[in-house]
Amino acid sequence: MYQSIEQVVARLKQIKLQGYVPTQRRGGTGVGHTLEQLLGLEENNFKVPDLDDVELKAHRSNTSSLVTLFTSDRDAWQVPAREVIEEFGLEEDTRTNLYVTLKGNDITRGLYIDATEENILIKSVDKRILAKWSVSMMLDLFHRKVRHVILVLAESKRINGIEHFWYHSATFYSGWMFSWHVANLFNSGLIHVDLRMHLKENGSVRNHGTGFRVYERDLAQIYPYGEVLPI
């Protein structure tokens, strides 16, 4: 649908002029889903041919929440996820859950990140390796999913009880990541790891996907190229 960044910018200018628009989906994903609808896109199907794939992300500018780069759990858990939840989770609302954000070497809920040149590890305080992602996998995910990103910021407010968004600015980020860079991004706390899973009533695991996330203000430290788009 969009053949160039310039066409995307032109449409974002029109959306900006609309002012506050009502969300088309409740909850945290509403800001992204509503923008996709305004752009006339099918969900998670944003392509700009002259840049291969561009990831479109929308973020509430008046919150301190993290931006998700991607999620990945494939073959990561070295200990069954159920055992991890039972040991490190919390009992809340009649279920045991493990919803926690890990940052660098800070210990949270008995867990921390240990990144080496070969692997990104989640460890317990007694040094057990609970989950592992290879650096080569991280590089592949980054280059396939978020090598090029357009981040659109939106102010959020409630009007008559309904959340509304004003999409007011956008930045284009692009670049390659290298293996020597990855461990530092995790150990320094720039990239956070979100564990999002709980035990269902029947004892099975509900995993929403381990998220690799970053604060919007830190994207410029991850990408070598960033350009504010003139919307």
**At 109, which CATH number?**
3.30.70.3570
Of the candidates 146, 127, 154, the residue with the CA atom closest to the CA atom of residue 65: 154
User: Which three-class secondary structure state does DSSP give residue 58?
Assistant: strand
pTM: 0.83
Instruction: State how far the Cα of 206 lies from the Cα of 209, in Å rounded to an integer.
Output: 9
User: Which three-class secondary structure state does DSSP give residue 117?
Assistant: coil
Of the candidates 41, 100, 58, 108, the residue with the CA atom closest to the CA atom of residue 231: 58
Instruction: State how far the Cα of 155 lies from the Cα of 174, in Å rounded to an integer.
Output: 24
Q: How far is CA 63 from CA 50, 67, 79, 202, in A?
A: 33, 11, 34, 36
Of the candidates 211, 164, 171, the residue with the CA atom closest to the CA atom of residue 66: 211
Domain that holds residue 203: 5-229
With the CA atoms of 57, 61, 70 and 96 taken in that order, what torsion angle do they form, in degrees rounded to the nearest 10? Answer: -130
User: What φ, ψ does residue 49 adopt, rounded to 5°?
Assistant: -55, -40
pLDDT tens series, the chain, 231 aa? 666 788 889 999 999 999 999 998 888 788 988 998 898 876 654 555 444 578 888 999 877 788 889 898 888 999 898 998 888 988 887 888 889 999 988 999 999 999 998 999 999 999 999 999 999 999 988 888 888 899 999 999 999 999 999 999 999 999 888 877 888 999 999 999 999 988 887 878 888 889 999 998 899 888 989 999 998
Question: How many domains are contained in the chain?
Answer: 1
Instruction: State how far the Cα of 130 lies from the Cα of 100, in Å rounded to an integer.
Output: 14
In this structure, how many other beta carbons lie within 10 angstroms of the beta carbon of residue 175? 15
Instruction: State how far the Cα of 229 lies from the Cα of 167, in Å rounded to an integer.
Output: 13
